[in-house]
């Protein structure tokens, strides 16, 4: 691999400009060598802001002309599969935004194509590197709350009320797997699996109550995990001021990852004395709150992108390869199926 990892970005809209390109800009051993987007305004705005001169309207042309090590795909949900195939064919490693695809079948063919080509397919779940969620995972793994029995997660914001869901935009159409559940809850579906393991079955109700879009703006899903735990996963696209909360209940304690990034926890006094975080502690029978600046440094990486680049350099697999992306997509797809049919839906792709 060359000294500087050569990355190309396909899709230069919202998330590429706010989260992907800024992360690469922070890394000395990475260069973004080219961008592709058919929208000239998005392409040129991103190119000028991040100093990328080589710009293409067509990603196939970019892949044919440039020497690229890895491609980062930030296109709309229904436009992930084609560029992933093209990048894999060109021998590039691929990082793709969530959800991996709009169908399980597409996700499976993407995973198989990457495997056959010997390239790495990573699906980006940025919350896996947020301090609060990492600390929660660490405490769960250390046994701080004992056996996980119940999880509740909610993500909501007012994005469904914005112009980005107008009929001509991709977020309007449910065929693009654009709803509050697929756009927001898919993050927590991933975290819940991380905390409690594979999901056995789900049942859900989704509705479009307020927003001018085809997809759901409010949805609630019940989950049964293979280990017997139960969960509730909620999304709302008309929520003010917005929330991002994950609660995990065990037989020895409780963890609440709060919207402001703080971690509230309660652990029995025996467990409290064993907490693997120096200097935290407390009386042992009261709620404790750890603001972000008092949460321990669990990961060596500040961001998913830093982890991804490290994986490419060392040959380590990413924490969320294509199979993890398919597993969280499966929860979303099954929840929609349940909501449409009014029944529980059993899952098949949680283990790989």
Ligand X SMILES: NC(=O)c1ccc[n+]([C@@H]2O[C@H](COP(=O)([O-])OP(=O)(O)OC[C@H]3O[C@@H](n4cnc5c(N)ncnc54)[C@H](O)[C@@H]3O)[C@@H](O)[C@H]2O)c1
* Closest CB to ligand X among residues 139, 153: 153
Find the shortest distance in angstroms from Cβ 236 to ligand X.
16
> Applying CB under 6 A, which of residues 52, 101, 183, 255 lies at the interface with ligand X?
183
* C-beta separation of 198 from 326 below 8 A: no
> Applying CB under 6 A, which of residues 15, 27, 161, 222 lies at the interface with ligand X?
15
* Closest CB to ligand X among residues 32, 126: 126
> Applying CB under 6 A, which of residues 25, 27, 42, 146 lies at the interface with ligand X?
42
> Applying CB under 6 A, which of residues 24, 32, 88, 97 lies at the interface with ligand X?
97
* Closest CB to ligand X among residues 12, 120: 12
> Applying CB under 6 A, which of residues 5, 9, 13, 68 lies at the interface with ligand X?
13
Element (H, E) at 7: strand 5-10
> Applying CB under 6 A, which of residues 21, 36, 86, 246 lies at the interface with ligand X?
36
Find the shortest distance in angstroms from Cβ 180 to ligand X.
12
Find the shortest distance in angstroms from Cβ 106 to ligand X.
13
Q: Which residue's beta carbon is nearest to the bound ligand X?
A: 13
Residue 140: closest CA among 249, 227, 297, 231: 249
The reply to whether 304 sits near ligand X by the rule CB under 6 A is no
* Closest CB to ligand X among residues 10, 134: 10
* Closest CB to ligand X among residues 6, 187: 187
- Applying the rule CB under 6 A, the residues between 103 and 162 that interact with ligand X are 126
The reply to whether 222 sits near ligand X by the rule CB under 6 A is no
Please provide residue 36's backbone torsions phi and psi, each rounded to the nearest 5 degrees: -135, 135
3-state secondary structure of 2: coil
Cβ–Cβ contacts within 10 Å for residue 206, how many?
23
- Applying the rule CB under 6 A, the residues between 76 and 95 that interact with ligand X are 76-77, 79
> Applying CB under 6 A, which of residues 8, 12, 100, 107 lies at the interface with ligand X?
12
Half-sphere exposure of 220 (CA within 13 A, CB side): 2
- The size of the interface with ligand X (CB under 6 A), counted in residues, is 22
The reply to whether 179 sits near ligand X by the rule CB under 6 A is no
User: Which one of 6-14, 23-31, 229-237, 320-328 is the stretch in contact with ligand X (CB under 6 A)?
Assistant: 6-14
The reply to whether 37 sits near ligand X by the rule CB under 6 A is yes
* Closest CB to ligand X among residues 328, 338: 328
Q: Given the rule CB under 6 A, which residues bind ligand X?
A: 10-16, 36-39, 42, 59, 74-77, 79, 97-98, 126, 183
């Amino acid at each position: 691999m060359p000294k500087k990892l050569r990355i190309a970005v396909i899709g230069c809209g919202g998330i590429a400009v706010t989260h992907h390109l800024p992360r690469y800009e922070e890394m000395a051993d990475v260069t973004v060598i080219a961008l592709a987007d058919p929208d000239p305004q998005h392409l040129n705005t991103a190119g000028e802001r991040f100093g990328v001169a080589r710009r293409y309207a067509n990603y196939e042309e970019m892949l044919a002309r440039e020497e690229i090590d890895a491609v980062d795909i930030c296109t709309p949900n229904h436009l992930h599969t084609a560029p992933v195939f093209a990048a894999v064919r060109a021998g590039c490693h691929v990082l793709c935004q969530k959800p991996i695809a709009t169908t399980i079948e597409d996700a499976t063919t993407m995973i198989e194509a990457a495997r056959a080509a010997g390239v790495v397919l990573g699906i980006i779940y940025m919350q896996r590197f947020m301090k609060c969620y990492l600390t929660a995972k660490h405490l769960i793994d250390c046994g701080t709350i004992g056996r996980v029995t119940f999880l509740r997660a909610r993500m909501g914001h007012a994005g469904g009320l914005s112009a980005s869901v107008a009929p001509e935009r991709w977020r309007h159409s449910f065929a693009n797997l654009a709803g509050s559940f697929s756009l927001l809850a898919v993050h927590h579906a991933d975290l819940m699996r991380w905390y409690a393991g594979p999901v056995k079955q789900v049942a859900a109700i989704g509705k479009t109550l307020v927003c001018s879009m085809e997809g759901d703006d409010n949805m609630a899903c019940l989950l049964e995990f293979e280990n017997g735990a139960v969960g509730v996963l909620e999304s709302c696209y008309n929520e003010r001021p917005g929330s991002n909360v994950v609660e995990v209940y065990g037989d020895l304690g409780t963890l609440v990852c709060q919207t402001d990034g703080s971690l509230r926890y309660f652990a029995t006094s025996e467990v409290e004395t064993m907490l693997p975080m120096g200097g935290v502690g407390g009386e042992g029978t009261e709620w404790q709150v750890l603001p972000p600046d008092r949460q321990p440094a669990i990961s060596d990486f500040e961001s998913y992108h830093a982890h991804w680049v490290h994986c490419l350099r060392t040959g380590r697999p990413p924490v969320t390869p294509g199979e993890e992306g398919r597993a969280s997509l499966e929860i979303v797809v099954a929840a929609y199926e349940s909501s449409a049919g009014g029944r529980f839906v059993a899952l098949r792709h949680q283990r790989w």
